[in-house]
Structure 1
Amino acid sequence: MRGLVVEHAAGALRGVEVDDGVLSWRGIPYAQPPVGELRLRPPQPVAAWSGTRDATRYGAPAVQPPPARPGLFDDPGAPVLPPCSEDCLVLNVTAPAGGTRRPVVVWLHGGGYQVGSGTDLAGDGASFARSHGLVVVTLNYRLGALGFLAVPGEHPTGALGLHDQVAALRWVRDNIAAFGGDPDRVAVVGLSAGAKSVANLMGSPRARGLFHRAASASGGADHVATPEQAASVTRRFLRELGTDRVRDVSAADLLAAQTALATDLRGTWLWRPAIDGVVLTSRPLDAVIAGSAAGVPLLAQHCLDECLAFAMGAPGVTKHADTVLAGHFGPAGRDALFAAYRRARPDLDETGLRVAVMTDNRYVVPTSRLADAQSAHAPVWRSRFDGPLTHLPEPFDTLPAMHGTDGPLIWAENSRMHQAWGAFLAGAAPTADDLPDWPTYTPERRTTMVISSGGGHTADDPQGAQRAAWDGLDWPSSTWWPLDGIS
């Protein structure tokens, strides 16, 4: 049995046994605290320590606003975490005791690049360690302005949270063997902003060779800021902050300026990596098309009605669809999209139609394009989760699947989704006892495994008429809510 004390490059760590034969090490620094002169700088290597460091407690999440209300998917059994802090560049490792060269999962949490921590949904990571013998790594990375503000005079800037993720992957490459993991079999996995991070890492020259499989839930490609968008956010942020000396003010003042721009769901899609010329040198999808992640198998999943979650959480959000689409494609292009959806979905009222358009604009089409691009370079499997949400309490248990509702099932040992994802993360094709044969995805057929609470079936190009309505259209990632002073 592997001992609770592990020696790695920076020193010894003492962990904790979380289950019979499952060990965990928590709050491990993978970079120096990004404070003082290291604020606004890329992550720096950890200094070694003497003696044995306690690794039984979780580290602090990144600086972020407090939750505005209890979340629909909050887990009352989630780990208790310390207060948020700039000193947040830590990760957790959970592994089966004994054994070597086990496949590794690196989990990237969601939260719109503004909230969240590595334990979200994954908890202590023990479910995949128990069910599939995987070594699970969860991590925190810088969020909001501290992670994604493009600060004049700093270089690189605008994507430090993505630099953090790369630094964590380098830590895994250099250290995971000490915990029983195989640095040559690393899968990077994420949901929501974590899934969009997966696509960004696939397109990043700095992440090349650091992972060997990728899985994306409710994500897709190209959730990045153009230079113009990044500059617009910076101008408004500095106006709220009242100074351009971002390194000299308190974290509380930075957070106050951030929340003055947008709070809660209105901040969704505002914070995202900029193309900084270092960790991102082009739009990620363009890089993937060119083969930046060649040889990396991909599992790409989305939910049936992704943006129903936003329509429920922020009533009236769909009224902005007309303005957003006209801004992307002009009034004529917007009207052509709505007309195509009315033909494809005569079952929907005008609100439902706008939810469907929003879902495809934000998640489904970006996921399709990522799958199309990567399928030229590696095997790709595609899935859609339909629900209903029988794993949630009433009255939500009868709803169709929406954004993030697949996340609990990915981590729940008794679910077919967990079984299928575990098989993929361990190095095989995704499969579960009660799912039919799951063919690989090609742009010609777009075969998709449609998963529901009752089982699953394959379909070629489901909702293809909706997908086809976006063919030939290109648009930058953007906010969905109009935000004063931000284009």
Structure 2
Amino acid sequence: MRTGGKKAVVAAVALVAAAGVAACGGQEQKAGSTDEIQVEQGRLHGVTEGAVRRFTGVPFAAPPVGDLRWAPPAPPASWSGVREATKPANICEQPSEGLRPGQKPSEDCLYLNVTMPSKPSAKPRPVLVFLHGGGFVGGSGGETDPRRMAERGDLIVVTPNYRLGVFGGFTHPALGRAGSFFLQDQQAALAWVKANAAALGGDAGNVTLAGQSAGAMSVCSQLASPSAAGLFHKAIIASGSCVTNHPAGALSPELPTVSTWKSREEIDGISQSIATGLGCTDPKTALACLRAVPPEKLVPTSAAFTFVPFDTDVLPQDPGKSLRQPWSAPVPVLAGNTSDEHLLTITRAYANATPETYHKVMTTAFGAKAAEVERFYPLGSYATPAKALDRAFTDRDWICATVDANRVYAKTAPTWTYVFDEPEAQSVEGDEIKPGNRPASTHGADLPYLFLADPNDKLLTPAQHALGDRLIAYWTAFARTGDPNVQTPPPWPPTTPTVSEGLTMNSAPDGIRANDIGAHHHCGFWWS
């Protein structure tokens, strides 16, 4: 499912990131502004920009082209001399929608960026690996700018690409249990970090895996992947959950119930239909035939591969089922949502929604339970029908799914829950939020608060910049210690198997406050 994670970053953050990288590139010949490090594959030449050092376009796996299309990521080649790591690398193949000028999609895309404080540290720094969103069909590691996070949090931030769409989600009977290449690439990036953390000045034993939207779904998938064990030690899951699903009509009038995960068998069927359409019909030669198809002919099929395959070597089970079983490798978890995750989905799918729309969607989604749902979310309590639908689906599909999963995580490891509810947060997906649908913190609206590098940027007010600093403090404290609490009150209560407490956050003077998130969002009703 694509919920706009890619666009969420592009509009508000990616231009800042691109400007920062361009500035670095322009300084690469100035004395004292660059630096070199030795990683396993060879020497890297990066750039120092004020308080941070950056290494961009670093290969963590071999290009997945030719016979390596739909194959596990292979180790990157070594190089002689010094490799320039001052400019962005290719982004992974994806539809042209949302691309910025100069971006070059390619199958040769398994690169990552490293951002770290430029000042020396007597102790190894924590490492945070951030997985981008984009519905598994778009986005890149270069669309966020973690300079402020690295500087203020005194940690190393790594942002990798991973294969997308048909290149990341493809399965086929000829591949057997291979698949989930999204996840395999992420694990290859984590393995690279583990091998090279010391060279970066980082602590290979203190790695946090974080992600937003599709990146969040990736993080919870990695928690359920046996082959990811030991590659990270904490998890941040922003706007996603292993038990997230959307009932019929929640995403659009024609869609049935949708989950992020599909069985390998289901996706095999999709892949075989596409193979037939491309003329690759012989089962014995279909894979070789498909590997010879130019990427531009495959990209249009990517919309069929917005799901993460399970029943594969890397992901044996649906993570929602794995969650209910004894946790094999518990790690501390920080997970939460924006307060209006579903609003833009509703306004796109049901433009100018009326009371009749509200009743029809409720009936489609909840059937015999619709009347009861409407009693909890009565139309008269909301300014618009769209806002009423948003509240119901945000609670059910997003926030209560997160709380549900967090209560399970909390059985074996410290777990923390939040809701970001900045009332005037901009929609960073390019959609206008109509006045009647305010206040609202839509999907992705928290990202500029974490990844807007310039504290004077006018995108945010001074109070919102202060909120962003607090979010960064929480994330980086958690990455350092497994506890997001900072010295500034209020204290952040942990979520337990029976108590759904957490923090709600906005920029008002008393906007950061502890409450029972499960009770506030009617989770008991949704779980019944």
* TM-score, scaled relative to structure 1: 0.83
What is the CA deviation profile of residues 361-413 of structure 1, one whole-angstrom value per residue up to 9, with x for unaligned ones? 54223312221111011100100011213466996595411111111112246
Say which of 198, 209, 234 aligns to 2:271: 234
1:254: which partner in 2? 298
What do the CA deviations read for 1:319-365 (whole angstroms, capped 9, x no partner)? 99999998xxxx7x923442332122222465444333432454223
- Retained in 1: the 8 A contact 2:33–2:48? no
Equivalent of residue 9 in structure 1, options 40, 55, 73: 40
- The answer for the alignment partner of 2:524 in structure 1 is 468
Residue in structure 1 matched with residue 306 of structure 2 by the alignment: 271
State yes or no: 1:359 paired with 2:382: no
Residue 49 of structure 2 corresponds to which residue in structure 1? 18
- CA deviation profile, 1:257-279 (whole Å, cap 9, x unmatched): 335x5xxxxxxxx5121114311
**How many Å separate the matches in 2 of 1:49 and 1:471?**
55
Shift of 1:316: 4.6
1:206 maps onto 2:216 in alignment: no
Q: What residue is the counterpart of 1:144 in the other structure? A: 165
Question: How do residues 14-163 of structure 1 correspond to structure 2 at under 5 angstroms?
Answer: 14-20=45-51, 22-67=52-97, 82-97=103-118, 98-99=120-121, 100-120=123-143, 122-123=144-145, 125-163=146-184
Partner of 2:283: none
User: Which residue of 505, 510, 524 corresponds with 1:451?
Assistant: 505
Q: Distance in 2 between matches of 1:289 and 1:257?
A: 34
Once the two structures are aligned, what percentage of the paired residues are identical?
Answer: 33
Give secondary structure in 1 for the equivalent of 2:38.
Answer: strand
Equivalent of 1:375 in 410, 416, 419: 410
Aligned to 2:490: 436
**What letter is aligned with 1:249?**
V
- Confirm or deny: 8 A CA contact 2:263 2:311 kept in the other structure: no
State the match for 1:478 in structure 2: none
Structure 1 or 2: more helix by fraction = 2
Q: Distance in 1 between matches of 2:446 and 2:347?
A: 17
CA distance in structure 1 between the partners assigned to 2:263 and 2:422 by the alignment: 35
Q: What SS is found at the alignment partner of 2:141?
A: coil
Give distance in 1, aligned partners of 2:81 and 2:46.
14
Return 407-416 or 365-374, whichever deviates more: 407-416
The residue that corresponds to 2:374 in the other structure is: 342
Check conservation: 1:225, 1:274, Cα contact below 8 A: yes
TM-align CA RMSD: 3.0
Query: How far apart in 2 are the matches of 1:441 and 1:175?
Result: 34
Where 1:225 maps in the other structure, the secondary structure is: strand
The residue aligned with 1:298 is 333
- Answer yes or no: is 1:401 the counterpart of 2:441: yes
Q: Which runs of 5+ in 1 are unaligned?
A: 71-79, 262-269, 473-487
Distance in 1 (alpha carbons) for counterparts of 2:264 and 2:395: 24
What is the Cα deviation at residue 428 of structure 1?
4.9
Contact 2:417/2:495 (<8 A) preserved: yes
TM-fit CA distance, 1:289: 3.7
Select between 441-450 and 285-294 the one with higher mean Cα deviation: 285-294
1:465–1:310: structure 2 CA closer, same or farther, 3 Å change rule? closer
Q: Distance in 1 between matches of 2:358 and 2:191?
A: 40
Deviations along 1:178-237, one digit per CA (max 9) or x if unpaired, are: 011100000011100001111001111011111111111111115311245323432443
Pick which of 317-326 and 139-148 moved more. 317-326
Q: Residues 453 and 274 (structure 1 numbering): CA distance in 2 closer, same or farther, change over 3 Å?
A: same
- Structure 2, unaligned runs of 5 or more: 1-31, 244-259, 281-285, 456-464
Query: In the alignment, is the contact (CA less than 8 A) between 1:42 and 1:156 conserved in 2?
Result: no
Is contact 1:60–1:85 with CA below 8 Å preserved after alignment?
yes
Mapped partners of 1:291, 1:61: distance in 2: 38
Distance in 1 (CA, whole Å) between partners of 2:227 and 2:361 is: 33
Distance 1:43 1:102, change over 3 A: same
- Structure 2: which amino acid aligns with 1:429? D
* 3-state SS in 2 of match to 1:449: strand
Q: What is the TM-score of this pair, normalised by structure 2?
A: 0.77
**Residues 241/337 of structure 1: CA separation in 2 closer, same or farther (3 Å cut):** farther
User: What's 1:281 paired with?
Assistant: 316
**Partner-residue secondary structure (3-state), 2:310:** coil
1:34 and 1:325, CA in 2 relative to 1: closer, same or farther beyond 3 A? Answer: farther
In terms of mean alpha carbon deviation, does 60-69 or 374-383 score higher?
60-69
Q: Which moved more, 1:164-173 or 1:291-300?
A: 291-300
Is the Cα contact below 8 Å between 1:199 and 1:221 reproduced in 2? yes
Distance of 2:495 and 2:97 partners within structure 1 = 38
- For the pair 1:225 / 2:262, whether they are aligned, the reply is yes
Moved more, 384-393 or 198-207: 384-393
CA gap of 1:193–1:390, structure 2 versus 1, over 3 A, is: closer
Partner of residue 389 from structure 1, selected from 424, 428, 431: 424
Point out the more displaced range, 92-101 or 32-41. 92-101
Which letter does structure 2 place at the counterpart of 1:179? L
User: How many angstroms apart in 1 are the aligned matches of 2:106 and 2:343?
Assistant: 32
What SS does the aligned partner of 1:199 have?
helix
Are residues 407 and 458 of structure 1, via their aligned partners in 2, closer, same or farther at CA, if it must alter by over 3 Å?
A: same
